[in-house]
Amino acid sequence: MSRQLTYVKAFNEGMHQIMAEDPDVFLIGEDVAGYGGVFHMFDGLLTEFGPRRVKDTPISEQAIIGLGVGAAARGLRPVCDLMFMDFIGVAMDQIFNQAAKMKYMFGGAVSMPLTITTAGGAGMSAAAQHSQSLEAWLAHVPGLKVAMPASPYDAKGLIVSAVRDDNPVIVVLNKKMLGMKGEVPEELYSVPLGVANVVTEGSDVTIVAIGRMVIEATKAAASLAEQGISVEVIDPRCVQPLDIGTITDSVRKTNRVLIVHEAVEFGGIGAEISSQIQEDAFDYLDAPVARLAAPFAPVPYAPILENAYVPDAARIEASVRRLLERR
């Protein structure tokens, strides 16, 4: 029987193992030490590594990232937790103007091995200020890498790669996936940043799914397979760098593509992926690139509205059917 861990436990194990491997790695953030993080992503780290390497901070996201930028520039490998993805706005200057640009502005003389961890996504009735998916903001800035693990295996492997990387990496966990179980090896391993995962192979249509939408797309693919429709599901794993080669290779095979994310559709990462597909594989398309995402509105608080806001397997299946009818 394979070893099963939850998404959050897999991430936690990756943190334990990478901190044991490298004494220059340390963790700071609000409630990360005594409480283990708002979602218990960091349970046990204070006990194992002590208060010198695991520190609670004041409620000041700008200070948290500022400290991390300075420490990274001096050769340490800080992991800075921002709790909710929505809070990146408070630390915007430190992330976009300092962390992302410092290596470039110093001609490569300064490395920036900074990891920022945060939790994004809707589905927990956390309302408009604690439920957003803002990966397109981050991916737009040269110098930042943005990873979005969609399985327990990737939650562990991507945090290890992020901490080892000499550039700023933002690892966006999904709140609704924290208890999801999956196969996770016990040993330390890494998942390369910028290498997509072909979750299911198919021949009729490609679905490019971001974050938790990988789970919904896989459910839709299974349902469609029972009806004789073969779906290939691609999980980019990272939206920056984006493995567009794996995506376009799939499109050349299936000739149809649907892009799914839970961020709002307008200006979302799906628009960028769509543009690159039509630039690289336009002649292979038998129908226009399709997108399925959230409406242009804040995330609702009420569960019935929130469920209507975020794409799910049923809507993905319906979108695939509409796509297959187009010529």
Q: Which residues are catalytic?
A: 61, 130
d(CA 145, CA 168) in angstroms, rounded, equals 6
Which tokens in the block code for residue 103?
């290596």
**Across-strand partners of 172?**
118
d(CA 62, CA 93) in angstroms, rounded, equals 8
Reported in sequence order, the residue ranges of the chain that DSSP labels E, i.e. its strands, are 4-6, 25-29, 54-56, 77-84, 115-120, 145-147, 169-174, 181-183, 197-200, 205-209, 231-235, 238-240, 257-264, 290-294
**What is the number of H-type helices and E-type strands within the chain?**
12, 14
CB of 262 within 8 A of CB of 311? yes
d(CA 278, CA 285) in angstroms, rounded, equals 8
d(CA 270, CA 234) in angstroms, rounded, equals 13
Which tokens in the block code for residue 60?
């000041």
d(CA 309, CA 132) in angstroms, rounded, equals 12
User: How many Å is the Cα radius of gyration of the chain?
Assistant: 20
Q: What angle separates helix 269-281 from helix 244-254, to the nearest 10 degrees?
A: 60
Strands 231-235 and 197-200: antiparallel
CA angle 269–194–293, rounded 5-degree value = 20
